[in-house]
Amino acid sequence: MADKAAAVGHPNRDKPEAIRTKNWIAVFLIASAVLFLIITWGGWSRLQGAVGVNIFYIAVYVVFAFYVLRWNRGVLPVASALAILMIIFAAVAAPAWFARDKDGFSDPALASALLGYLTLLVIPLQVVLIGFAMRGFQQGWNVEAGSREYFESTRDAQAESA
């Protein structure tokens, strides 16, 4: 069955809306990873035990962006769940950065107020990521279409090998 007409295709991946959604999800994942990297670098000396969490998020978001660009929709719900957790972390951490912007506190590499604003910026970015990820999950990137002959020959070949 070397015939191209008989091969399995993914019709939903050819839609412009699906392509745009996939690209935007990857952009939001990479932008989130870059923002986490800036916050981690800028507050490295004052991130009490949270450095590992930030490094984990950076690595996972970059890997997820790679998989999304390869049309893997399985990472989208996981990315959404991690984004929800990051919203909680950012909502708790942002006021602490602003509280450090007083006399008597030593400043990290970036100003505490700037780190507070960057941490607040994480929240809407994660909300948008969740929205796009759920939209991408609904688009059915995994749907396959092929000819009846292809599916029957695949089934027959599996039956003969068993």
Cα–chain center distance at 71: 13
Greater pLDDT, 42 or 138: 138
Q: How is residue 58 written in tokens?
A: 């950076």
Which residues fall within 8 angstroms of residue 75, CB to CB, at 6 or more apart? 64, 67, 68
Give the number of other Cβ atoms within 10 Å of residue 143's Cβ: 11
Give CA–CA dist 156/64, Å, rounded: 36
What does pLDDT average to over the chain? 85
Q: Does residue 2 belong to any structural domain of this protein?
A: no
Greater pLDDT, 88 or 6: 88
Q: Is the pLDDT of residue 140 over 60?
A: yes
Mean pLDDT for the stretch of residues 75-88: 95
Structural domain of 69: 7-161
Q: Does residue 36 belong to any structural domain of this protein?
A: yes
Hey, is 124 helix, strand or coil? helix
Please give the model's pTM, rounded to 2 decimal places: 0.81
Mean pLDDT for the stretch of residues 108-124: 88
What Å distances lie between residue 139 and 16, 53, 77, 130, CA to CA? Answer: 11, 31, 13, 14
Q: Does residue 53 belong to any structural domain of this protein?
A: yes
Q: Does residue 1 belong to any structural domain of this protein?
A: no
Phi and psi at residue 145, in whole multiples of 5°?
-135, 140
pLDDT score, position 69: 94
Greater pLDDT, 54 or 59: 59
Confidence class of residue 47 from pLDDT cuts 50, 70 and 90? low
Phi and psi at residue 61, in whole multiples of 5°?
-65, -35
Q: Is the pLDDT of residue 144 over 70?
A: yes
Q: Does residue 133 belong to any structural domain of this protein?
A: yes
pLDDT score, position 157: 79
Domain count, the chain: 1
Q: Does residue 146 belong to any structural domain of this protein?
A: yes
Q: Does residue 34 belong to any structural domain of this protein?
A: yes
